[in-house]
Amino acid sequence: MSCLLLHGLAGSPFEMEGPARALKDAGLAVSNEALPGHGASPEAYLASGYADWRAAALERYAALCRTGPVWLAGYSLGGLLALEICLAAVEGRVPPPAGLLALAVPLFFRKWHPYFCAAPQFHLLRWRARLQPRVELPPRSGAARAAAPWQGHETIYYLPHFVELEAAQRRLRPVLPRLTVPLCIVQLRHDACCHPYNSHYLQKQWGGRETELHLWRTRSPHGGHLPTTHIECRERVAALAVTHARRCLARA
């Protein structure tokens, strides 16, 4: 029995270190590795893409399945990749996961009803990605770093990556009713990158009967998209990961 943890876009395995440590302490084997282009140079990150990340996730998952059932946890981009694995299982390409912990998984970056948009760049995204593919962001503030530590390509906002993610979102949304593994969803209510509507949508569209949704509030206005590292909830996320993984793997 083992656990595959998948981190977010532009980030690193640091995002999943809290759950990984807790799962290891609970006696479970854990894989928490960097996706292609992550944890490397900016050039390597810019050269990588969704097809690379999906292939790497499926390859790692298939390798772990050789030793027994595998439980998944995916944060943001990693959550989309976990959905890709669930879909591959439905299609008979890999064994089914024992369960899935979905952490702040974006199925929409923008929507008209209810209206939300993760960032101004998501309006006319394809046009903007061609006109100015790379946007330089300022470093995170000290308050944001204190509330929710993070490691990754902090100042790089590469719009072609988001074009690819939007294509994946459109492809994955219609297949959610076909996915039936036990699902646990976690998100913070003040997530500005991934509107909480995404978590409600995921639970409503999920094909399995065993789902649970945890939407948490924090006092700090910072780090809304980082439930795994936020000082006010990271221990809760880690404990929930252990509880869900144990329950799922015990029945696998």
Structural domain count of the chain: 1
Q: What's residue 116's pLDDT?
A: 86
**pTM higher than 0.95:** yes
- Is the predicted pLDDT of residue 118 greater than 90, yes or no? no
Sheet holding 29-31, edge to edge: 29-31, 2-6, 70-75, 99-103, 183-188, 211-216
Domain with 133 in it: what CATH number? 3.40.50.1820
Residue ranges making up the domain that contains 177:
2-251
Per-residue model confidence as pLDDT tens digits over 156-212: 999 999 999 999 999 999 999 999 999 999 999 999 999 999 999 999 999 999 999
* Helices 234-251, 17-25: inter-axial angle, 10-degree rounding: 50
Q: How confident is the model at residue 115 (pLDDT cuts 50, 70, 90)?
A: confident
With a pLDDT cut of 70, the percent of the chain lying above it is 100
Per-residue model confidence as pLDDT tens digits over 120-155: 888 889 999 999 999 999 999 999 999 999 999 999
Rg for the chain, CA atoms, rounded: 17
Average pLDDT, the chain: 96
Segment (H or E) for 101 = strand 99-103
| DSSP letter (8 states) at residue 104 | S
Among residues 8, 55, 5, the alpha carbon closest in space to that of 152 is found at 8
Partners of residue 103 on adjacent β-strands? 75, 186
Cis peptide before 114 (omega within 30 of 0): yes
Q: What's residue 1's pLDDT?
A: 81
